[in-house]
Amino acid sequence: MSAALDVRPVDVLATARRLGQEFALTAARHDATGAVPLDNLRSLSAAGLLSLVIAPQDGGLGFGLSAAQAVIGEIARGEPATALILTMHYGVHAAIARRSGWPERPARRVIADCLGGMALANALQVEPKLGSPSRGGAPETLARRVPGGWSISGHKLYSTGCEILTWMLVLARTDESEPRVGSFLVPANAPGARIARTWNPLGMRATGSHDVIFENVVVPLDHALDLQPIAAPGRRDPLTMAWYFGMISALYDGVARAARDWLLGFLHERAPTGLGAPLATSPRIQEAVGEIEILLASNAHLLLAHAAGVERGDVPPQGGGFLKNVVVENAIQVTSRALELAGNVGLSRDNPLERHHRDALCGRVNAPQSDVIRGNLGRLALGVS
């Protein structure tokens, strides 16, 4: 599939579904080794899906959040680490499409790289002392003014896909007399940038979310994006957050659907001698599967409503953090219930169900975490800061 402007949504979804099914064949190997799924990303690039949300006037496909959610959900159903790298990439390009804080020259450079090949982008924000910016505070990563540009020094954690990125958006504060905070566009291969291989988690093992250390990395002056006074470092663009919440939620919903798919096959195949028929014929099992279907139907409704609202300009308060909170918890309930129904077979590493459960659990620690979301919504309701 090429990046032609007349590509239909059904074509995009069919391509994503086919690729997700292909990626599922090697997902267990990526989970076991922790190797970043480079071939998967190359396939996405060859299919034109890396340019999904790039604006048509910039040469991209120009799709909105609903299509992005659908694509990510299908990819996550097959291999969620690939889907997370894609989620972060789409988040960057969705902001570029509306030029949200992006000067024209660096925006066009990032777009051209993506259209010209497999050039991925992600924002690097978390730090050892800061943690996630969603909890407040200013980054220690420092951007110093030097002749013709900025010199970046600092240490970032959980840098998803860092081994295969082309561009990194590095959250930093300036050394100005009145410091500002913003992101700085840094080529991943810039002198002074290096990766410390630290990523060894329970789930989402193939995202390659290692540490990245910057030592006097120099970038041009116009590579500073959306600099804001340091007094309000936690400010987030609601539309940017709405895209993020929609896509990250679709990812974990995809993981839950993969768990459900495996479970249904198992329940039809497993026929205990005491029952004398497949487990799928048991009323108790049918009711339990019905509980799973309710959780997934709720997720689908929320995801569709969220994307439709965003696309008509109705961005929910705080960007819709409630969506992530509900969908992720539903996904974890789905995988947990599936494990209960499958028993020891589900816990075996010869089957994918335990991997789906481990991957789903990671949704709880993707920032912002549930306590931050609840606190933000509570303060909004109470009218307090």
Question: Would you list the DSSP string of 292-338?
Answer: HHHHHHHHHHHHHHHHHHHHTT-PPGGGSHHHHHHHHHHHHHHHHHH
SS3 220: strand
Give dist(CA 312, CA 254) in Å, integer: 24
Give dist(CA 179, CA 25) in Å, integer: 49
Instruction: Please tell me the predicted confidence (pLDDT) of residue 269.
Output: 97
Instruction: Please tell me the predicted confidence (pLDDT) of residue 372.
Output: 84
Q: Which domains does the chain have, with CATH numbers?
A: 9-118 (1.10.540.10), 124-229 (2.40.110.10), 238-382 (1.20.140.10)
Q: How does strand 165-174 pair with strand 120-124?
A: parallel
Residue with tokens 């979301």: 373
Instruction: Please tell me the predicted confidence (pLDDT) of residue 377.
Output: 84
Question: How many Cβ atoms sit within 10 Å of the Cβ of residue 350?
Answer: 8
How many helices (H) does the chain have, and how many strands (E)? Answer: 12, 8
Instruction: Please tell me the predicted confidence (pLDDT) of residue 234.
Output: 53
SS3 102: coil
Give dist(CA 268, CA 37) in Å, integer: 32
Give dist(CA 354, CA 360) in Å, integer: 10
> Which parts of the chain have pLDDT scores under 50?
1-5, 233
Give dist(CA 217, CA 144) in Å, integer: 10
Instruction: Please tell me the predicted confidence (pLDDT) of residue 6.
Output: 55
* Residue 125 φ then ψ, to 5°: -130, -35
Instruction: Please tell me the predicted confidence (pLDDT) of residue 51.
Output: 97
Instruction: Please tell me the predicted confidence (pLDDT) of residue 8.
Output: 72
pLDDT > 70: percent of the chain: 96
Cα separation values, 127 from 158, 186, 198, Å:
8, 17, 13
